[in-house]
Amino acid sequence: MGVIVDRDDASNDNWPAVSAILQRLGLDVRDPASTGAIVDGHCGIWMWPDSVGHGDLEDFVSAIIPQSSILSYAAEACRIARDDHGAEYELRHARKAALKVRSVWRDASAAGGYGHLVRNLSLTSTPACEAFLAWFTTLFLT
């Protein structure tokens, strides 16, 4: 079983709750590990974006997808929609809005997540991406 949560920001940090769970499961953890956590080979916890720093899934996705003019245009379209037409998203979620719009433009039939956004793209390898893939592989594929 794997649990993935956003680390969010310092005012809403999920690490204390994650740390308490890991301690109840028998791990002595003081600080989050960049490799995520796996308990007894069958229970894992990962925190977006890199299991250490504050952030969310969108930080992770933004780092691995190639920057492009269409993504910049999605961000601009979202800004105009919010500023000039009353789109309701909070300003702190501007990156999330742009990624969602870009994702829908890539495949409008695929509602939700970002899987179809990253499929068939040459993704940028980052330390967080490599660590997440290793965590996922260890937990679910070995």
Q: What is the pTM of this model?
A: 0.83
- Same domain for 51 and 22, yes or no, is yes
- Same domain for 111 and 131, yes or no, is no
Quickly count helices (H) and strands (E) in the chain.
6, 3
- Same domain for 70 and 86, yes or no, is yes
- Same domain for 76 and 49, yes or no, is no
Q: Is the pLDDT of residue 14 over 80?
A: yes
Query: Per the omega criterion (within 30 degrees of 0), is the bond before 66 cis?
Result: no
Distance CA 127, CA 137 (A): 15
- Same domain for 81 and 46, yes or no, is no
- Same domain for 47 and 76, yes or no, is no
Strand partners for 2 = 44
- Same domain for 130 and 105, yes or no, is no
For residue 85, give the 3-state DSSP assignment.
helix
Average pLDDT, the chain: 90
Query: How many domains does the chain divide into?
Result: 2
Q: Return the pLDDT at 81.
A: 98
- Same domain for 113 and 134, yes or no, is no
The edge-to-edge listing of strands for the beta sheet with 37-39 is 2-6, 43-48, 37-39
- Same domain for 72 and 112, yes or no, is yes
Instruction: Record the tokens describing residue 43, joined without a space.
Output: 């229970």
Q: Is the pLDDT of residue 137 over 90?
A: yes
Q: Quick one: average pLDDT of 32-58?
A: 91
Which carries the bigger pLDDT value, residue 27 or residue 137? 137
- Helix then strand then coil, % of the chain, to nearest 5: 50, 10, 35
Q: Is the pLDDT of residue 111 over 70?
A: no
- Same domain for 48 and 14, yes or no, is yes
Which carries the bigger pLDDT value, residue 94 or residue 107? 94
Domain hosting 14: range is 2-57+126-141
